[in-house]
Structure 1
Amino acid sequence: MRGLTMLSTAFLLPAIAGCTPAPAEQARIDQRQATERADLDKALRGLIPQKPTQCIGQYQTRQVTAYGPTIVYTISPRLKYVSETQGGCETIGQRGRNDILVTRTTTGQLCAGDIAQTVDRVSGFFTGSCSFGPFVPYRPAK
Structure 2
Amino acid sequence: MRHRNRRLATIAAAGTVLVAAVALGLFALRDAVVFFYSPSELASEPPAVGERIRVGGLVAEGSVGDAEDDGFVFVITDGAESVDVTYFGILPDLFREGQGVVAEGRMTQDGRFNAETVLAKHDETYMPPEVAEALREAGTWQGEEDEPGSR
| TM-score (norm: length of structure 2) | 0.30
| Richer in strand (by share) | 1
Larger radius of gyration: 2
| TM-score (norm: length of structure 1) | 0.31
